[in-house]
Amino acid sequence: MTAMNWYWLDGDCYCPACVECDTPPIDSADATRGPNLTCRCHCCGEMPFVPTHKITTNAEAVDVMLVDGAAYTAAEWESSGTADYECDSDGKWTFQGRPFAGCVEQIS
């Protein structure tokens, strides 16, 4: 899920699925939508994809979201897949467990 469809209400955020099923009841007139929400859904615990880094290699340029050392693409996040890119505690980036030739930029 991208953050664009998430709602923020009274200090909590809610994913689109919880808003659609109205659990908890959300009056969209009282809620705001936003592209930059970085939170977990107050109702179900889901978290929207919000890119934190751009990885550029010879083959591609891709936005990823770094979560606990795993760097997910939007497709990996949406499908609950395994992240191909990772960053260890020393800041070393890998692709499928191996070093790669490329550039990693933090998205501000």
Domain count, the chain: 2
Q: Residue 73 is part of which domain span?
A: 53-106
> For the purposes of burial, counting CB atoms within 10 Å of the CB of 11, is it exposed (0-12), middle (13-18) or buried (19 or more)?
exposed
Residues 2 and 36 in one domain: yes
pLDDT in tens, 35-49: 444 566 667 667 778
Q: Is the pTM of this model over 0.85?
A: no
Residues 65 and 43 in one domain: no
Residues 94 and 59 in one domain: yes
Residues 30 and 75 in one domain: no
Q: Indicate the DSSP class of residue 77.
A: H
pLDDT in tens, 70-96: 999 999 988 888 999 999 999 999 999
- Nearest-Å Rg of the Cα atoms of the chain is 16
Residues 28 and 41 in one domain: yes
What percent of the chain has a predicted confidence (pLDDT) above 70? Answer: 61
